[in-house]
């Protein structure tokens, strides 16, 4: 009888298609290929602020949960870096100049919902965002720095100065996923929530593309 596949492996395999689909969405694809503008990048950073404000606010509440608490680390915190990036990119009045797009608002509402009621759902969104930031996000940050002439200002979101070895951090995170005492039906719910998170990301890129088109029209 074959050994059961570790939960982290099942999660990665089941979400691989959604992950690649999100990355290839037109807006993000253009940005990665050098066809996007600085304004496009700024628009993405602005939407990230709303997402991470929700995620890190719920993390503060989830620290009381014995399972969720194990995934929460101050070394992952992105909100101060995002705020510094926005001040650099937009100026000191950046808060008055940004607003959530429709998908971002639905994404934020979902994070707030599961962050108040469901530890597994919180972990699903936590995993999707932060492990992505420590993986493909590292390449994106370097690409944006080259593309727009940034040093560290403007791409602080992608710089995890307190994590010396991202791979080791991700390996430990996945070991924690495998060690969670979730039954199979709860694991399935978590996987479904990760797929929902990827769908939000894809739809956000579609929103950003539509917003850009409306400005050009």
205-216: pLDDT as tens digits: 999 999 988 876
Domain holding 35, by residue range, is: 7-212
Where b means 16+ CB within 10 Å and e means fewer, 139-170 reads ebbebbbebeebeeebbbbbebeeeeeeeebb
* Cβ contact 154:89 at 8 Å: yes
Structural domain total, the chain? 1
Q: Is 217 part of a structural domain of the chain?
A: no
Does the structure show a pLDDT above 70 at 179?
Answer: yes
Where b means 16+ CB within 10 Å and e means fewer, 41-61 reads bbbbbbbbbbbbbbbbebbee
pTM of structure: 0.95
Q: What percent of the chain has pLDDT over 70?
A: 95
95-135: pLDDT as tens digits: 999 999 999 999 999 999 999 999 999 999 999 999 999 99
Rounded Cα–Cα distance for residues 113 and 110 (Å): 5
What DSSP line would sit under 137-167, residue for residue? Answer: HHHHHHHHHHHHT-SSTT-GGG--TT-S-HH
Instruction: Give residue 17's pLDDT band: very low, low, confident or very high (50, 70, 90).
Output: confident
Rounded Cα–Cα distance for residues 123 and 76 (Å): 13
Residue 182 per-residue DSSP state: -
When pLDDT is averaged across residues 184-200 and rounded to a whole number, the result is 97
| Residue whose tokens read 């200002």 | 153
Q: Is 1 part of a structural domain of the chain?
A: no
Q: Is 120 part of a structural domain of the chain?
A: yes
CATH of the domain at 142: 1.20.910.10
């Amino acid at each position: 009888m074959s050994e059961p596949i570790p939960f982290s492996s099942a999660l990665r395999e089941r979400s691989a298609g959604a992950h690649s689909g999100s990355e290839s969405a037109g807006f993000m694809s253009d940005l990665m290929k050098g066809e996007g503008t600085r304004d496009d990048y700024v628009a993405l950073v602005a939407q990230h602020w709303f997402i991470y404000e929700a995620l890190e606010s719920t993390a503060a509440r989830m620290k009381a949960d014995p399972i969720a608490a194990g995934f929460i680390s101050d070394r992952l915190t992105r909100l101060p870096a995002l705020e510094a990036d926005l001040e650099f990119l937009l100026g000191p009045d950046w808060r008055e100049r940004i607003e959530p797009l429709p998908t971002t608002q639905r994404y934020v509402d979902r994070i707030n919902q599961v962050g108040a009621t469901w530890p597994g759902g919180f972990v699903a969104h936590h995993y999707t965002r932060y492990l992505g930031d420590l993986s493909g996000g590292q390449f994106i940050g370097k690409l944006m720095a080259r593309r727009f002439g940034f040093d560290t200002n403007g791409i602080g979101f992608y710089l995890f100065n307190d994590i010396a070895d991202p791979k080791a951090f991700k390996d430990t995170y996945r070991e924690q996923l495998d060690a969670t005492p979730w039954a199979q039906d709860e694991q399935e719910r978590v996987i479904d929530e990760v797929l929902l998170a990827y769908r939000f990301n894809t739809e956000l890129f579609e929103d950003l593309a539509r917003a850009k088109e409306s400005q050009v029209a």
